[in-house]
Amino acid sequence: MKIKTAEFVISNSEVARCPNSSLPEYAFIGRSNVGKSSLINMITSRKSLAKTSGRPGKTQLINHFLINGDWHLVDLPGYGYARVSKSIKKTFQKFITAYFEQREQMICAFVLIDSRHEPQPIDMEFMQYLGEHGIPFCIIFTKADKLKPNALDRNVENYKAKMLETWTEMPEYFVTSSENGLGQEEVLNYIDNINTQFLRN
Ligand code: GDP
């Protein structure tokens, strides 16, 4: 898929106020600082469509972008920052779960995982939640350029092994780098294939 147009549509804190549209949408979510904004910019070949984070946790909004006029890319707030209070975390959780549970046109959630790190409980728990609610998701490993090829392969294999402790199969996954564009084509093709099926039905 070629990105012809990518436009910001709306930011809001309520699922009910998300665009009134049946276009298929794809959500990007992950821990704060995982590289989500950079990835969204890389995927869409735009320099600053998503604002790279100055202060993690500041922007707790659902951001919709219209891509090529025919699908929505949704930038969800990062989770798991240490500096916010428990009650903010709870409110945040509600707001994210409301999005996933109410937004029927949400086709696939891309869960971003920093390829450098060991599997983290917060990501595992989040994917567990998605699984339990029948919400389709893929994994996107970010910042692949920061590792040597062997270390990257080892970490991905390690992640798979960890996932297979609780899942019967490894979800679809992509290895990406916003620094050098690795994975852009694969992610866009994946979205394109689903969109084609979606439009046929
Ligand atoms: P967000 O908080 O998840 O939106 O993360 P950002 O996109 O703001 O990225 C957090 C930090 O990681 C920034 O300093 C980015 O420059 C850096 N970063 C993000 N993606 C990559 C990547 O693919 N490679 C490298 N080397 N750095 C990255």
Does residue 78's CB lie within 6 angstroms of at least one atom of ligand 1?
Answer: yes
141-199 tens-digit pLDDT? 999 999 999 999 999 999 999 999 999 999 999 999 999 999 999 999 999 999 998 77
Topology at the third CATH level for domain 8-180+191-200: Rossmann fold (3.40.50)
Higher pLDDT, 200 or 20: 20
Does residue 44's CB lie within 6 angstroms of at least one atom of ligand 1?
Answer: no
CA of 4 to the centre of ligand 1 (A): 24
Does residue 37's CB lie within 6 angstroms of at least one atom of ligand 1?
Answer: yes
Does residue 31's CB lie within 6 angstroms of at least one atom of ligand 1?
Answer: no
pLDDT at 57: 47
Atom of ligand 1 nearest to the CA of 31: 3
Q: Which residues, 6+ apart, have CB-to-CB distance to 146 below 8 Å?
A: 115, 116, 177
CA of 36 to the centre of ligand 1 (A): 7
CA of 145 to the centre of ligand 1 (A): 11
pLDDT at 32: 87
pTM value is 0.94
Domain boundaries, the chain: 8-180+191-200
The whole-angstrom separation of Cα 107 and Cα 122 is: 22
The whole-angstrom separation of Cα 194 and Cα 192 is: 5
Atom of ligand 1 nearest to the CA of 144: 23
Residue nearest to atom 18 of ligand 1 (CA): 35
Q: What is the largest CA-CA distance in the chain?
A: 46
